[in-house]
Structure 1
Amino acid sequence: MPMPQVPFDDRGLAYGDGIFETVLLRDGQPVLWDYHRARLEQGCQRLNIPLPSAQQLVQTWQSPPTSALEVLKLILTRGSGGRGYALPEHVEPRLISRRMPFAANAERWQGGVCVRLCHLRLGHQPLLAGIKHLNRLENVLARQEWQDSRIAEGLLADSSGKMVEATSMNLFWSSNGVLWTPSVDHCGVAGTLRAALLAQGVIREGTLSIDDLPHSERLWVGNSVQGVWPVSELLDAHDNVLATWPMHNAPDPLQGEAHRLLGYREFPASESK
């Protein structure tokens, strides 16, 4: 199905004036939908964009599924109009969506991944922190820093040297047997899987500096589509090895809880790429 055409004067295209969600569909039904809707609502409140009705949102996944697993991307812009940055007198938001078949990468669940620290540092803007707004230029620039396919993700710190997230995933670590994730009060995205794990008391919010990162007991990256990848190797911004972690045969406490929430079995061959 072709994507709908976005008008030249759409404010999401011109200014990044909008928000988006990327939702895992299992057998045609959204996973962690309450958390996605809550973040969508928060984003609308922050940007002062009217929230689509529940019926409008449900319609985006009402067609029959094309595969057991799909990814639904929702993009909501303020619509068209206004003079320059000034808002239009009557806001008519534009909601577009697309569904694509998806296969989770179970090899990364089991074998772990290599990640690297990025040169780029995230700037602080509390008004935009947490929400998934359309202006992701920091993430785009960070992702340009490596081309090596062996590197699965890049880790981002803020301007004060505190770890925040990965380019498209949240960051988790273990210290003294406790599972942690960085705060996203000043910058970064509050992932929906992260929110569910916090709500269930599986993880806590904490602070982790760049210097302390290599000394974590264990390290993970994860989101509500890919699940949780344990980190086996950490590189610095020049691709020098900073730390390695052995992969364990024992059940992974964070991955187990996260994949239960997402409906993933431990290492299903049928869901690997």
Structure 2
Amino acid sequence: MSSTLAWINGTWGDPSELKLPLSDRGLQLADGVFETVLIRGGEPQLLQAHHARWRDGATTLGMAPPPSLEVLGPLLREAIQRVGLDAHPTIASSRSATEKHGALRLNWSRDGVAGRGIQLPTGAPDPEQHRFWFSLSHHTPTFQSVRTWVSRHEQRNANSRLSYCKTFAYGQAIQARREAIEHGADEGLLLSTTGELCCGSTANLLVQRHGQWLTPPLTSGCLPGVMRAQLLEHGLAQEATIHAKPEPGDRWLLINSLDCRVVSAVDDHELTTTTQAQELWSELLKP
């Protein structure tokens, strides 16, 4: 029983050993979309919402729809059992509760059937000219505090359709975090081309101000996060423009499907921290 597992083209194995064709456009051009889903209690959390965003992202990129939930179901159940994340393991062990969480990544890329270059095949997108694979590993959700740095070099493009898709292209996020670490912080924050704060490098931004949770609007170019949508749908947050300089008494969080981190500082501004991170994150996992 392995703590990490991958699947592609009907083959199970270690992610470092399975192969992706060098012609794959996801590999060559980041031409693909993915989803990261929390496994908890043997079940994928908010899978329907993740799948909808995955499908919408593929449509935006002009790709064929990714595998349906009906196709995914048996594969994911087998993967969860193989990695030992099922709710009732068949082998008695002393696993801790944190080992019962997992991170599932679903990938959907376009094959390089059109040859070299960026030109896409003509006609309607063909599912046979796409590639699906996934990986699953143990994950420990973290709620620790992080110091953040507002990137001076990277910005989210509020006018780009790519900003609303979870694509393979994470170079900007990598550079924003690298810049933050160079300035003694842990995580990067990104401004939008509109001048407002947009998100963290891998998470949506939440600001509690005067007792109300606020999150940047989609018009800022922030990714339409699944947990962010849960907050809005449950009436726990509302959209508002957030600027880089915190206001007195602000409490900030960075939230995604795997973690919810407390922001202790923005640049040189120390923040009041909150103890609500784990409680809020867990509440959002309820359907």
- TM score, norm. by length of structure 1: 0.82
**Selected match of 1:66 from 84, 88, 113:** 84
User: Aligned with 1:81: secondary structure?
Assistant: coil
What's the counterpart of residue 270 of structure 1? none
Contact 1:162 1:210 in 2 (8 A): yes
Q: Which amino acid aligns with 1:19?
A: V
Q: Distance in 1 between matches of 2:130 and 2:159?
A: 24
Q: Distance in 1 between matches of 2:14 and 2:201?
A: 28
Please report how far the alpha carbon of residue 122 of structure 1 lies from its aligned counterpart in structure 2 after TM superposition.
2.2
What's the counterpart of residue 238 of structure 1? none
1:7-46 aligned within 5 A: 7-46=21-60
What's the counterpart of residue 82 of structure 1? 114
Aligned-pair RMSD on alpha carbons? 2.3
Q: Distance in 1 between matches of 2:230 and 2:138?
A: 24
Q: Distance in 1 between matches of 2:163 and 2:273?
A: 33
Contact 2:180 2:186 in 1 (8 A): no
Contact 1:214 1:243 in 2 (8 A): no
Q: Distance in 1 between matches of 2:189 and 2:60?
A: 26
Please report how far the alpha carbon of residue 198 of structure 1 lies from its aligned counterpart in structure 2 after TM superposition.
1.1
Contact 1:197 1:258 in 2 (8 A): no
Q: Distance in 2 between matches of 1:133 and 1:69?
A: 24
1:46-195 aligned within 5 A: 46-51=60-65, 52-63=67-78, 64=81, 65-67=83-85, 68-83=100-115, 84-89=117-122, 91=126, 92-106=129-143, 108=144, 112-119=145-152, 120-147=154-181, 151-195=185-229
User: Aligned with 2:164: secondary structure?
Assistant: coil
Contact 2:104 2:136 in 1 (8 A): yes
1:229-240 aligned within 5 A: 229-235=261-267
Q: Distance in 2 between matches of 1:178 and 1:261?
A: 16
Contact 1:122 1:158 in 2 (8 A): yes
Contact 2:32 2:109 in 1 (8 A): yes
Please report how far the alpha carbon of residue 128 of structure 1 lies from its aligned counterpart in structure 2 after TM superposition.
1.7
Please report how far the alpha carbon of residue 47 of structure 1 lies from its aligned counterpart in structure 2 after TM superposition.
1.1
What's the counterpart of residue 6 of structure 1? 20
Please report how far the alpha carbon of residue 165 of structure 1 lies from its aligned counterpart in structure 2 after TM superposition.
0.2
Q: Which amino acid aligns with 1:80?
A: G
Unpaired segments ≥5 residues, structure 2: 1-12, 86-99
Contact 1:154 1:167 in 2 (8 A): yes
Contact 2:251 2:271 in 1 (8 A): no
What's the counterpart of residue 200 of structure 1? 234
Report whether the alignment pairs 1:221 with 2:272.
no
Q: Which amino acid aligns with 1:245?
A: T
User: Aligned with 1:144: secondary structure?
Assistant: helix
Q: Distance in 2 between matches of 1:185 and 1:40?
A: 20
Please report how far the alpha carbon of residue 158 of structure 1 lies from its aligned counterpart in structure 2 after TM superposition.
1.4
Q: Distance in 2 between matches of 1:262 and 1:148?
A: 34
Q: Distance in 1 between matches of 2:158 and 2:165?
A: 13
Contact 1:232 1:247 in 2 (8 A): no
1:124-154: CA deviation from partner (whole Å, max 9, x where unpaired): 3432232201112211221221437973321
Cα 1:178–1:218 change in 2 (3 A) is: same
1:6-35: CA deviation from partner (whole Å, max 9, x where unpaired): 111111111111100111011331101121
What's the counterpart of residue 279 of structure 2? 256
Spell out structure 1 runs of 4+ moving beyond 6 A: none
Q: Distance in 1 between matches of 2:157 and 2:185?
A: 24
Please report how far the alpha carbon of residue 214 of structure 1 lies from its aligned counterpart in structure 2 after TM superposition.
4.6
Q: Distance in 1 between matches of 2:235 and 2:278?
A: 14
Report whether the alignment pairs 1:209 with 2:243.
yes
Please report how far the alpha carbon of residue 88 of structure 1 lies from its aligned counterpart in structure 2 after TM superposition.
2.4
